[in-house]
């Protein structure tokens, strides 16, 4: 039995769907089904019942779920402890990231980093495309890249960080603001703000088409820094990553469901390069932040 078997089983138990669990764990459905079957074979017990329309946990599955959650909580606590940033490193670090991660991952990671390493200085560049981040890392004009999966990974070390879901960011007086969740179909013919010319835009457009939703794109923009001000002044709704905006008293961030837009931020480095202490300390801070966000889910 390996740790991945336990993580796959917990995902399946929480979603009660092989499709959703595979999507959540970023593996194919056959792969997840095979791993669950392996786990059941090793235990000698059926953990789930498989019906034509739905699955359910068996009594053994319910018992195993309780223990599995406890095991994963202990492991996450251990990871959190050992991922704490190094202390008193110095030097300069060059970070490249798309705008969404520049406003969500970078500031929180630097807060963790500077608490223990005040002697480090940082240069941050907003870079829109994954290919450009990969190129700059290979040319060694960047030290650390933050980007959304998938990456080519050629010549790079790539670490997935956590799952990032999308929310509908609206003023509290918006007609959808009282909803607990929003389906993408609910945005049909609604005025929205969307990112311009990014991989995220392509993902959103594909999901919107899949449910037959055609929102009215009133504003397109590069970067998310002006989204709160635009929403405040125009009353439009914006589809943004959950960590990309700060929710004030005047706004609401409503989770989006059916289908659920999910992306996975990653951290990447050039493989054949000895990383200096400042880069190692920043990487530890980013891992620490990622562990905190995974535990918050």
Homologous superfamily, domain 90-162+264-296: Periplasmic binding protein-like II (3.40.190.10)
Residue 281's Cβ-side half-sphere holds a number of Cα atoms within 13 Å equal to 25
pLDDT band at 85, cuts 50/70/90?
low
pLDDT band at 234, cuts 50/70/90?
very high
109-136 pLDDT per residue, tens? 999 999 989 999 999 999 988 899 999 9
> Does the structure show a pLDDT above 70 at 83?
no
* DSSP H helices in the chain: 3-15, 18-25, 29-43, 59-82, 99-116, 130-138, 199-210, 227-234, 277-296
d(CA 58, CA 48): 5
Q: From its phi and psi, is residue 88 left (phi > 0), alpha (psi between -120 and 50) or beta?
A: left
Site of tokens 């970070």:
95
- All structural domains of the chain with their residue ranges: 3-82, 90-162+264-296, 164-262
Instruction: Give the residue, 97 or 81, on which the prediction is more confident.
Output: 97
Instruction: Give the model's pLDDT for residue 80.
Output: 61
Mean pLDDT for the chain overall? 87
Same fold, 90-162+264-296 and 164-262: yes
> Does the structure show a pLDDT above 80 at 94?
yes
pLDDT band at 297, cuts 50/70/90?
low
The model carries a pTM of: 0.70
Which CATH code for domain 3-82? 1.10.10.10
pLDDT band at 84, cuts 50/70/90?
low
The DSSP output letter for 269 is: E
CATH 3.40.190.290 is held by the domain 164-262 = yes
Q: What is the mean pLDDT of residues 79-94?
A: 75
Highest-pLDDT range among 15-19, 32-36, 246-250: 32-36
């Amino acid at each position: 039995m390996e740790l991945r078997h336990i993580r796959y089983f917990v995902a399946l138990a929480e979603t009660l769907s092989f499709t959703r669990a595979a999507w959540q764990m970023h593996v194919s459905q056959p792969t997840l089904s095979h791993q669950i079957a392996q786990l059941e074979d090793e235990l000698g017990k059926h953990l789930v019942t498989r019906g034509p329309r739905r699955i359910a946990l068996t009594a053994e599955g319910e018992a195993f779920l309780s223990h599995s959650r406890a095991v994963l909580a202990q492991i996450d606590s251990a990871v959190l402890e050992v991922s704490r940033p190094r202390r008193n490193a110095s030097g300069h670090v060059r970070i490249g990231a798309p705008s969404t991660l520049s406003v969500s991952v970078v500031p929180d990671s630097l807060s963790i980093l500077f608490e223990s390493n005040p002697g480090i200085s940082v240069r941050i560049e907003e870079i829109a495309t994954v290919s450009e981040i990969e190129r700059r890392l290979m040319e060694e004009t960047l030290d650390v890249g933050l980007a959304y999966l998938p990456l080519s990974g050629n010549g790079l070390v790539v670490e997935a960080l956590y799952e990032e879901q999308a929310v509908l960011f609206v003023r509290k007086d918006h007609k959808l603001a009282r909803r607990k969740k929003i389906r993408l179909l609910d945005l049909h013919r609604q005025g929205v703000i969307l990112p311009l010319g990014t991989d995220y835009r392509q993902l959103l457009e594909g999901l919107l088409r899949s449910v037959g939703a055609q929102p009215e794109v009133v504003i397109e923009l590069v970067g998310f820094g002006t989204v709160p001000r635009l929403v405040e002044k125009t009353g439009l709704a914006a589809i943004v990553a959950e960590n990309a905006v700060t929710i004030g008293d005047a706004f609401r961030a409503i989770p989006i469901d059916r289908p659920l837009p999910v992306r996975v931020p990653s951290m990447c480095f050039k493989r054949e390069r000895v990383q200096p202490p400042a880069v190692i300390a920043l990487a530890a801070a980013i891992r620490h932040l990622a562990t905190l966000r995974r535990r918050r889910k």
